[in-house]
Amino acid sequence: MLKRSRDVAKLLELMEIFPATAILGARQCGKTTLARGLEYNHFFDLENPEHLMLLDNPQLALMDLSGLIVIDEIQRKPDLFPMLRHLLDTNPNQRYLILGSASRDLIRQSSESLAGRIGYFQLGGFSLEDVGEENWRHLWLRGGFPRSYLTGDEGSLIWRKNYVTTFLERDIPQLGINIPAHTLRRFWIMLSHYHGQTLNFSELARSFGISDQTVRRYLDILVGTFMVRLLFPWHNNTSKRLVKSPKLYLRDSGIFHSLQTIDTADQLMTHNKLGASFEGFALEHLSRVTAREDAELFFWGTHAGAELDLFWRSGGKGYGVEIKYVDAPVLTKSMRIATEDLDLEKLYVIYPGKTRYKLAQNIEAVPLTSVRVAGSL
């Protein structure tokens, strides 16, 4: 198993501040492995029937424990949260690390009971830093799920197909969501065709033969379980007509490739979704190294065609990213308009090459593999 030094460091930083810390992330992204690598005193896995039974009486099971207590798959017992608040307030010798796969519900449940006592750490799959920059194309094809990446191209393909099936037939029903697996699979595949595009809810509803409301419900499920990212538009003061709908990305490039039946690197290089695939892969990497929360990342676009794939603010200044799968990016009119309209401090053009060079005074072409410093580019 690869070391995940940056993730461990960020997690330990949160654990120093909060008496309870939650690791959130998709199923099989490595939450349990990361937690088991820490120095803990007690570990409860709620997929273990014995542990689940022990926590049917949580006060008796937990009140006399001390040190770091890990509770895995906590979404299976959401009624634990009020008790955890009581235990944290009455036993200063306890700290909790809780792991869960259902982001939105888990955050809502924990924030209501543990407000001010809990910090959140979102764990993705393997990063470029984890696998080494020389292996970035393997990571792109296979995705970041540890077992998908580590089993090689053929094993990865088999693992991902089984992951999708298990997710739909087992994980979704366990979250209390009663949608037929084949229905959600068809919807997920349809979404993969919108990867990297501005989302039109009405168009998607017509294509799938369901209502706008049902589209939003299905989409909420996939967003809430870390399968899909919605990137919302940034609105600034301008006379130009701005794009107001979100852009949609499948968060894991390997899952995207599976849903698009892209099995090999050669198939990817000739596929009409090559640019969109690279854009989504780079976007996930950038979202981690810029150290921004999901809600702090945006895209920007005008109806006249000027656009920016990624925008965020830091220290009162604006920063932008364009992602291009080309040999050597060149300066475009769209880049100049975005720089001027958004008053960007810097605009970075991320591409799959090896040379960093300037395109204009505050516009720079940057190889994806050189983007590895948290908080900046």
3-state SS string for the chain? CCCCHHHHHHHHHHHHHCCEEEEECCCCCCHHHHHHCCCCCEEEECCCHHHHHHCCCHHHHHCCCCEEEEEECHHHCCCHHHHHHHHHHHCCCEEEEEEECCHHHHHHHHHHHHCCCEEEEECCCCCHHHHCHHHHHHHHHHCCCHHHHHCHHHHHHHHHHHHHHHHHHHHHHHCCCCCCHHHHHHHHHHHHCCCCEECCHHHHHHHHCCCHHHHHHHHHHHHHCCCEEEEEECCCCCCCCECCCCEEEECCHHHHHHHCCCCCHHHHHCCCCHHHHHHHHHHHHHHHHCCCCHHHCEEEEECCCCEEEEEEEECCEEEEEEECCCCCCCCCHHHHHHHHHCCEEEEEEEECCCCCEEEECCEEEEEHHHCCCCCCC
Q: What is the pLDDT of residue 376?
A: 52
Q: What is the pLDDT of residue 16?
A: 95
Positions of the chain with pLDDT lower than 50, given as ranges: 374-375
Q: What is the pLDDT of residue 377?
A: 66
Q: What is the pLDDT of residue 100?
A: 83
pTM summary value = 0.92
Cα separation, 54 vs 62, whole angstroms:
9
Cα separation, 321 vs 27, whole angstroms:
29
Give all domains of the chain, ordered by start, each with its CATH number: 5-122 (3.40.50.300), 128-370 (1.10.10.10)
